[in-house]
């Protein structure tokens, strides 16, 4: 059974701010600037699934340039040193960190999957019976980045089937 | 003087690199493992046990909690300081890890300064190493 839980934009924004402060912008000079545009484009994305007391997904999506910049910041490398493996590792860990913190706000009994990374736009992903319930959308160093939360439920399935 | 050694155990290579960077800065010699089983295998081959292990919780093969339990059950490894470094931030999970034998608990995301402060509290680095 999945209970109704709302983790809102403000909760997600706080988690995202902590990620930026810890890894992507420790100097505090390049914050994620909100655009509130949930349709902004992406070229890569990563996700973790949550099951148990609540079911859904947490998705991190960005342009390839933003992913490369994230990997460089995360791994303390120059941009031109970053490999595709570095980008995948970083995207996976970013989804894992945000997903883990979302899970902590859910009723006990939720489990977190290992992260999945796809070097393709978020729009190519399909989350059956799930709908986006909140998200943080912004521009980082001129490139789009978003973190969104999707809720899966039997109610969504019924709605889609109507 | 022989440098202290730290084992960094996380299935994320990116996170291992971050942790390795921090402990190396603190003059630890770092050893990496991708999961608890690999860490136990490495420890079995070591003549000198590392002073510190930084351990993720969610890993394939053997998770962090299982690793802590195994280390605590092995008299040869009892001097190791065990720090969980994880996104598992529910109070119940923290209690489980500490009850199993972890000395400290760091929740991801963490800043470099926060990690160094934790290690200073454990007496593994001089107080003020952060400044």
ipTM higher than threshold 0.85: no
B98 vs A106, more confident: B98
Render pLDDT for A2-56 as a digit per residue (tens, 0 to 9).
556 667 889 999 999 999 999 999 999 999 999 999 999 999 999 999 999 899 9
A104 contacts B87? CB cut-off 8 A: yes
Residue B75 lies in a domain: yes
What is the per-residue pLDDT for A137?
A: 96
A145, burial (CB in 10 Å: exposed 0-12, middle 13-18, buried 19+):
buried
Residue B119 lies in a domain: no
Task: Dig out the tokens for B65 from the structure.
Answer: 């909690």
B87 contacts A112? CB cut-off 8 A: yes
Within 8 A by CB and 6+ apart from A15, the residues are A98, A101, A102, A147
Which residues of chain B does A76 touch, with a Cβ-Cβ cutoff of 8 Å? 17, 21
Residue B36 lies in a domain: yes
Q: Which of A134, A146, A132, A101 is nearest to A9 (CA)?
A: A134
Render pLDDT for A65-120 as a digit per residue (tens, 0 to 9).
999 999 999 998 999 999 999 999 999 999 999 999 999 888 888 899 989 999 88
Residue B126 lies in a domain: no
Strands (E), chain A: 33-34, 44-52, 56-62, 110-112, 116-118, 130-140, 143-152
- Cα-Cα end-to-end distance for chain B: 23
* CA atoms of B45 and B107, how far apart (whole Å): 30
B89 contacts A74? CB cut-off 8 A: no
Helix axes A84-104, A64-75, angle to 10 degrees: 80
Tell me, what CATH number does B102's domain have? 3.40.50.2300
What is the per-residue pLDDT for A6?
A: 66
| CATH architecture group of domain A9-25+33-161 | 3-Layer(aba) Sandwich (3.40)
Element (H, E) at A141: none
Element (H, E) at A113: none
pTM: 0.87
Task: Dig out the tokens for A61 from the structure.
Answer: 């999506």
* CA atoms of A22 and B11, how far apart (whole Å): 19
Residue B105 lies in a domain: yes
* CA atoms of B7 and A15, how far apart (whole Å): 28
Would you say A159 and A128 are in contact if contact means Cβ atoms under 8 Å apart? no
Per-residue confidence band for A155, with pLDDT thresholds at 50, 70 and 90: low
Domain total of chain B: 1
B109 contacts A93? CB cut-off 8 A: no
* CA atoms of B98 and B83, how far apart (whole Å): 9
Chains A, B: CB pairs < 8 Å: 63
Query: What is the mean pLDDT of the segment spanning B46-64?
Result: 95
- Shortest CA gap B8–chain A (Å): 15
* CA atoms of B78 and B81, how far apart (whole Å): 8
Residue B38 lies in a domain: yes
Helix, strand and coil percent figures for chain A, each rounded to 5: 40, 30, 35
Residue B95 lies in a domain: yes
* CA atoms of B17 and B30, how far apart (whole Å): 10
What is the per-residue pLDDT for A105?
A: 87
Strand-pairing partners, residue A135, are A148
Residue B121 lies in a domain: no
Element (H, E) at B98: helix B91-100
Q: Going by DSSP bridges, is the β-strand pair A130-140/B29-33 parallel, antiparallel, or unpaired? A: unpaired
What's the domain range around B17?
Answer: 5-109
Would you say A125 and A49 are in contact if contact means Cβ atoms under 8 Å apart? no
């Amino acid at each position: 059974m999945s209970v109704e839980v709302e983790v809102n934009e403000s909760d997600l924004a706080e988690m995202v701010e902590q990620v930026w402060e810890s890894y992507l912008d420790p100097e505090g000079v390049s914050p994620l600037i909100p655009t509130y545009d949930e349709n902004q484009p992406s070229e890569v994305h990563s996700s973790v699934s949550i099951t148990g007391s609540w079911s859904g997904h947490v998705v991190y999506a960005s342009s390839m340039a933003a992913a490369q910049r994230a990997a460089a910041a995360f791994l303390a490398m120059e941009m031109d040193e970053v490999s595709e493996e570095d980008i995948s590792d970083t995207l996976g860990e970013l989804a894992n960190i945000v997903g883990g913190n979302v899970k902590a706000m859910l009723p006990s009994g939720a489990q977190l999957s290992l992260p999945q990374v796809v070097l393709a736009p978020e729009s190519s992903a399909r989350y059956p019976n799930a709908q986006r319930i909140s998200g943080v959308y912004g521009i980082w160093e001129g490139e789009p980045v978003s973190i969104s939360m999707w809720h899966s439920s039997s109610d969504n399935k019924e709605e889609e089937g109507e | 003087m022989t440098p202290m050694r730290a084992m960094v155990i996380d299935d994320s290579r990116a996170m291992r690199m971050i942790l390795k960077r921090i402990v190396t800065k603190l003059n630890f010699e770092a050893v990496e493992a991708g999961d608890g089983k690999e860490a136990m295998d490495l420890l079995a081959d070591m003549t000198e046990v590392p002073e510190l292990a930084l351990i993720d919780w969610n890993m394939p093969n053997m998770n962090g909690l299982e690793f802590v339990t195994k280390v605590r059950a092995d008299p040869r490894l009892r001097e190791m300081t065990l720090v969980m470094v994880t996104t598992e931030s529910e109070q119940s999970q923290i209690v489980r890890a500490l009850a199993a034998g972890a000395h400290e608990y760091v929740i991801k995301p963490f800043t470099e300064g926060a990690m160094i402060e934790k290690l200073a509290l454990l007496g593994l680095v001089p107080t003020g190493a952060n400044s």
